[in-house]
């Protein structure tokens, strides 16, 4: 089977990249979510979780034995050495699992596969992908969404946003840009246009026909 295009999907916190991913999934497009894989590699009983506990101690565990991600984040947020250590433990596992899931998706009759991850540009991983979609949001909209979604104070939300790489760096690497400052109808229009563009560029005729049928079955 001919290899499918792998499309990167990224954006800043609360930009709406997960909403874009859900809309693309409604067309039957496989979406490999790096954040979800990051949870899988430290699931209860996994080698990844055992390694994290060996290095950071049992205090990063919740009462049920699962990883308390907030406690761990607090440990590494302001400690660059701890953060590098954690990344060295988890990134290879996430990369291996990502490659496995992408290979599985390649075996299906789809026009392309989406890999959703927050740090594609920062890590340089976007260079190995067929195209990169960046979801962009105006700073004031992004700030309001972070406060509402995470229940943060404005000060904490601004600190969280300031810790991220500038949006300009992502936009400079983008093949396509989705502007998500409006509501869901506007977002859906942009995603529909993006899907058509990606199909025109990457899909075989058989795959396009299959995806058109899938979308028709899911529309209300």
Give per-residue pLDDT as tens, 21-46.
999 999 999 999 999 999 999 999 99
Residues 23 and 67 in one domain: no
Q: Give the pLDDT of residue 164.
A: 82
The rounded distance, in Å, linking the Cα atoms of 5 and 189 is: 22
Q: Do 23 and 40 belong to one domain?
A: no
**What's the chain's average pLDDT?**
89
- Residue 58 tokens read as 């049992």
Task: Indicate whether 55 and 88 sit together in one domain.
Answer: yes
Last residue of one domain, picked from the residues 107, 131, 150: 107
Provide the CATH number for the domain around residue 180.
3.40.50.300
Nearest residue to 112 (alpha-carbon basis) of 133, 83, 92: 133
Is pLDDT above 60 for 167?
A: yes
Q: Do 65 and 170 belong to one domain?
A: no
Query: 61, 54 in Cβ contact below 8 A?
Result: no
pTM for this one? 0.84
Q: Which of 107, 127, 148 is the last residue of a domain?
A: 107
3-state secondary structure of 123: helix
Answer yes or no: do 119 and 16 share one domain: yes
Do residues 48 and 153 share a domain? no
Range of the domain at 50: 34-107
């Amino acid at each position: 089977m001919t290899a499918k295009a792998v499309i990167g999907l990224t954006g800043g916190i609360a930009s709406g990249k997960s909403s874009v991913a859900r809309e693309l999934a409604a067309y039957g497009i496989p979406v490999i979510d790096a954040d979800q894989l990051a949870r899988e590699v430290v699931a209860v009983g996994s080698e990844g979780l055992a390694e994290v506990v060996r290095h950071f101690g049992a205090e990063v565990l919740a009462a049920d034995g699962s990883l308390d991600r907030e406690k761990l984040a607090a440990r590494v947020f302001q400690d660059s050495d701890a953060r590098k250590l954690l990344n060295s433990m988890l990134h290879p596992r996430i990369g291996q699992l990502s490659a496995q899931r992408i290979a599985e998706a390649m075996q299906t009759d789809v026009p392309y596969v989406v890999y959703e991850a927050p740090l594609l540009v920062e890590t340089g991983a976007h260079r190995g992908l067929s195209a990169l979609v960046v979801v962009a949001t105006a700073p004031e909209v992004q700030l309001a969404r972070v406060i509402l979604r995470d229940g943060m104070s404005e000060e904490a939300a601004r600190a969280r946003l300031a810790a991220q790489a500038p949006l300009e760096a992502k936009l400079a690497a983008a093949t396509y840009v989705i502007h998500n400052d409006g509501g869901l109808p506007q977002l859906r229009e942009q995603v529909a246009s993006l899907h058509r563009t990606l199909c025109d560029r990457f899909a075989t005729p058989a795959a396009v026909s299959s995806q058109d049928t899938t979308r028709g079955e899911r529309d209300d």
